A and B are shown apart, each in its own frame.
Chain A
Amino acid sequence: MKKYLSFFKMRLMAGLQYRTAALAGLSTQFVWGGMEILLYRALWSAHPERFPMGVEALAAYIWLQQAYLTFFALWHWDGEIMESVRTGAVAYELIRPTDLYGMWMARSLALRLSRGMLRSLPVILLGALIPAPWGLRLRVSPWAFGLFLLSTALMLLVVTSLTMLIYALCFFVTDHRGMFTVLTPVADLLGGGIVPLPFLPAGLRKIAELSPFGAMQNVPLRIFGGDIAGAEIARAMGLQAFWAAVLASAGYAVMRAGLRRTVIAGG
């Protein structure tokens, strides 16, 4: 276990080096969050009665999503991993006395955390300064906040397990970029990245909530804002656990198969 922790620490350290990237990301996320708020405010003032979500819940959703974008968004891949499969540098990881799946899992988790740590706090502070109802406020009970944390952990497992499945699929294709080009918008739409899921048409919303993408940011963000409660939370978190298990076992199996057939070309 210690070696995976060290690996985690290494990626974390490597990730913390990129100050400019963090600063750029930070300002992007703040501006983006602000624009979204303005947009929804315009929508809301036109038809307040047809709004499918509470305004405060929506504001919390947007600010938290921006603050923890690198936790939540599926498209924060580790480019180095995919490059290593494409170029064959993965050979160096195969000569280590470790399990490749565990190593990459530790690495992916650390990447998300390191990117998130640098930029989340300023966005949260700025979001909290925005006047109600469009600012970020914690309005749910401590109990629900605890569920929010737990659900965030589950969300990280779902996202990294799916990411690992994609990495494993890299062993079967010449270039990985196509997979991402397809997957990114699908995940963004069905995962509540573009608009929160309550804003989708009923049928699509149903599909999205049952899909693995709906088991990602959708759950913790809506718990935090108080948009879902009680049995809804239980059901959503059950689905999160289900998808984490399914995706992790699929990824593990695909990686095993991939490693069996892999030939590292060239000297």
Chain B
Amino acid sequence: MIEMRGINKTYRVRRREAGLSNAVKSLFSREYTQIPALRDMTFTIPDGQIVGYIGPNGAGKSTTIKILSGILRPDSGECRVNGLVPWEDRKKHVARLGVVFGQRSQLWWDVPVIDSLELLRDIYRVPEEKYRENLARLTELLELTELLKTPARMLSLGQRMRCEIAAALLHSPEVLFLDEPTIGLDAVSKLKMREFILEQNRLCGTTVILTTHDMQDVDALCSRVLLIGKGRLLLDGSTAEIRAMAGENLSTEESVADLYRRFGI
């Protein structure tokens, strides 16, 4: 169970006009602007749900994920993931959490993937038996046999993403955050990735929060969609409801674009 109630977060960003003279000026006096990243964010996600968390760039998606991961402390509001406050019980909380940031890598670059996985096993204290069982399952479903002995730097993006997701699931997390997991993947890899996420959710009851700009991901995976813009929650419903709101036989993609325009975000 993931609960967020009245979460607010504001960033302080340094700004200046273009040009050398302004750069020099900013050495002596700096101007800061307050950017509200999340405003009164409130939602509840029950166990075992796959939720699409969508919104335009800069809407506050990553901020939410960072707060839920315990990396970032909000200015105010309450948040509990399976009873724990993420930023206060960080170590306990993250032990039950799996995260894939599509744009960053958690594998060690120069060593074979299997070495990274074994390191993660020790970091999360996964019992040997459980590790073997999980590894065997992940290897089969994600077709990793050939990849495990290869250094991460030699893998293609699609291959690497499969290894990344295996790395995030080795310790059987209860909650999985996927931040743009299909970014840059080809059609076949995308389909496989989606299939795997559904399978994982069905078999292990893993709660999944998925942030993405790919509406086909949302269509294929999510029973529920949270739409946010400018730091506020704008819509909470199924993909069908979103399409119904936009009307006129639009695809999910077009509906969402229509909603972005309508909400002025």
Residues on A facing B (Cβ under 8 Å): 2-3, 5-7, 10, 13-14, 17, 88-89, 91-92, 94-99, 260, 263-264, 266-267
Contacts and interface: CB of A to CB of B under 8 A. Distances in A.
A111 to B, nearest CB: 13
Nearest to B98: A95
B52 to A, nearest CB: 15
Interface residues of B, number: 36
B115 interface: yes
Nearest to A99: B91
Nearest to A5: B122
B104 A89 contact: yes
Contacts of B62: 266-267
Contacts of A267: 57, 61-62, 103, 179-180, 211
Contacts of B106: 92
A12 B1 CA distance: 40
B108 interface: yes
Contacts, number: 75
B111 A92 contact: no
Interface stretch (B65-73, B154-162, B201-209, B232-240): B65-73
Interface of B: 11, 57, 61-62, 66, 69-73, 90-92, 94-95, 97, 99, 101, 103-106, 108, 110-111, 115-116, 118-119, 122-125, 179-180, 211
B66 A6 contact: no
B71 A97 contact: no
A97 B91 contact: yes
A6 B123 contact: yes
A91 B92 contact: no
29 contacts: A2-B125, A7-B119, A7-B122, A10-B108, A10-B111, A13-B111, A13-B115, A14-B108, A14-B110, A14-B111, A17-B110, A17-B111, A88-B104, A89-B104, A91-B69, A91-B71, A91-B101, A92-B105, A94-B69, A94-B71, A95-B69, A96-B124, A97-B94, A97-B123, A97-B124, A98-B91, A266-B62, A267-B103, A267-B179
Contacts of A97: 91-92, 94-95, 123-124
Nearest to A260: B73
Given A95-B70, A264-B71, A2 B122 contact: yes
Nearest to A80: B109
B180 A264 contact: no
Given A7-B123, A94-B69, 6 more contacts: A2-B125, A92-B106, A95-B97, A97-B91, A266-B62, A267-B179
Given A89-B104, A267-B103, A6 B71 contact: no
